[in-house]
Amino acid sequence: MYRTYRDLPPVQVTTGTTEGMPTGTWRTFRPVISAERCTRCYTCWKFCPDLSIIVRQEGDYPSVDLFHCKGCGICANECRRNAIVMEREPL
């Protein structure tokens, strides 16, 4: 019997992603990236919880995988240059 959590055997826990599920269909807002304002710091890519910010290779501008993006707005909130705006999805 385990007395505390420290007595438990070590396990590896994989965090979940939406990689295998199309979640973009229930989004209310979508991120739009301005190439004019973007400095390619990739902060948006680092903070996206759904891996929906795509950078093909270093030096490229980021793009958005709208198939998986849930429109949470974290990328826009973290962008220091305000290069990402959240636009309402068309009805």
Q: Which residue has the tokens 């910010």?
A: 53
pTM of the full structure? 0.75
What pLDDT was estimated at residue 7? 72
- Model confidence at 22, pLDDT cuts 50, 70, 90, reads confident
Identify the band that residue 82 occupies on the pLDDT scale cut at 50, 70 and 90. Answer: very high
Phi-psi region of 19 (alpha: psi -120 to 50; beta: other; left: phi over 0): alpha
Query: What CATH number should be reported for the domain whose range is 26-88?
Result: 3.30.70.20
Does the structure show a pLDDT above 60 at 13?
no
User: What is the rounded average pLDDT for all residues in the chain?
Assistant: 87
> Residue 25: pLDDT band by 50, 70, 90 thresholds?
confident
